[in-house]
Structure 1
Amino acid sequence: MASTFSFDVVSDFDWQELVNAVDQTEREIKTRYDLKDTKTTVELTKEGLTIQTDSEFTLTAVHTILQQKAAKRQLSLKIFDYGAVETASGSRVKQVIQLRRGINPELAKEISKLIRTEFKKVQASIQGDTLRVTAKSKDDLQAVIQRLKGADYPVPLQFTNYR
């Protein structure tokens, strides 16, 4: 009896870890001497983050703090999609940072094509915002995982439901 093995390629992050990273960022902004009086706000919604501050210089400092806090919590920095810096009321600046979640169809096709061309005994099928990879050999699946880990994609990839 020939059984097949599979895993899913997904792009997701731990929401609670992001909430904690944003909370730590806000705390550090309130206590740092160079950011204390800038009236900087970091607002988290389901779609993304909105940062409002008094200059692009302080915006860069907030980015650095946010990235450090996210990295400490094992969040990939690829989840942040930085939007354009806009001028808000007065001399303040505002930036919206979208959160990347899921694999978009174009990227899923690109990954699927890579798997089909490099691994002849492995099949990949797109299922919504995930990619299901199946093969008769676990070794083939391990090779695919190693290859995808080595590739640089604009979203962080995780491998789940390994059976």
Structure 2
Amino acid sequence: MADYSFDIVSKVDLNVISEAVSAANKEITNRYDFKGTNSSIELNQKDNELKLASSDEYKVNTLRDIIFTRIAKRGIPLKNMLPQKIEAALGGNAKQTVKIQQGIPADKAKEISKAIKDAKLKVSASIQGDQLRVSSKSKDELQNTMALLRGKDFGVELQFTNYR
């Protein structure tokens, strides 16, 4: 009998984030409350980060709300957005970095693997870098595993790929 498997991943499409940043920057240039504040949102794809900058902390919070709204409208989960502490910059400005979580962190992968084992399903889960592979002899067991994982919150958005 053949083995069946699927991968559990947590990926964010940076092209969609880039579109959201463009739309948010257009909104910022047109809004009256941002006139003359040198507010900006930038996407650093290499480091998987959003950089928010404005004249004060309140405006940075507003920028974060704007970009998160744009991202959510495009179907990207906000669980994978990790806002850092707002920092004071030179000239009385404020800035914030929002890290974009790509992949499943090792501690979350162990937590997911433990949840699968605790459910006593006839599947085996193995951690492979920033993703998990779940395999079984039964497709039904894999479906049950997916249902179990959809019902729990692990702090990252999970996607199921490579189902075979």
TM-score (norm 2): 0.94
> Is it true that 1:113 corresponds to 2:97 in the alignment?
no
Which residue of structure 1 lines up, in the alignment, with residue 33 of structure 2? 34
Contact residue 121 and residue 141 of structure 2 kept, 8 A: no
How far 1:3 moved relative to its partner? 1.4
Which amino acid is 1:81 matched to? L
Contact residue 121 and residue 145 of structure 2 kept, 8 A: no
| 1:91-146 per-position Cα deviation (integer Å, ceiling 9, x unaligned) | 11011111100111111111111111103301100111110001111111111111
Which amino acid is 2:100 matched to? L
> Is it true that 1:136 corresponds to 2:137 in the alignment?
yes
Which residue of structure 2 lines up, in the alignment, with residue 12 of structure 1? 11
Which residue of structure 2 lines up, in the alignment, with residue 24 of structure 1? 23
Q: Structure 1: where are the runs of 5+ without partners? A: none
How far 1:40 moved relative to its partner? 0.3
3-state SS in 2 of match to 1:34:
helix
Q: Structure 2: where are the runs of 5+ without partners? A: none
In 2, Cα distance between equivalents of 1:31 and 1:149: 40
Percent identical: 41
Matches within 5 A, 1:46-85: 46=45, 47=47, 48-85=49-86
Contact residue 10 and residue 156 of structure 2 kept, 8 A: yes
Contact residue 119 and residue 144 of structure 1 kept, 8 A: no
Which residue of structure 2 lines up, in the alignment, with residue 45 of structure 1? 44
Contact residue 79 and residue 100 of structure 1 kept, 8 A: yes
Contact residue 24 and residue 69 of structure 1 kept, 8 A: yes
3-state SS in 1 of match to 2:116:
helix
Question: Superposition RMSD on alpha carbons, in Å?
Answer: 1.1
TM-score (norm 1): 0.95
In 2, Cα distance between equivalents of 1:100 and 1:30: 28
Contact residue 102 and residue 129 of structure 1 kept, 8 A: yes
3-state SS in 2 of match to 1:98:
strand
Contact residue 52 and residue 64 of structure 2 kept, 8 A: no
Moved over 3 A (4+): none
How far 1:30 moved relative to its partner? 0.6
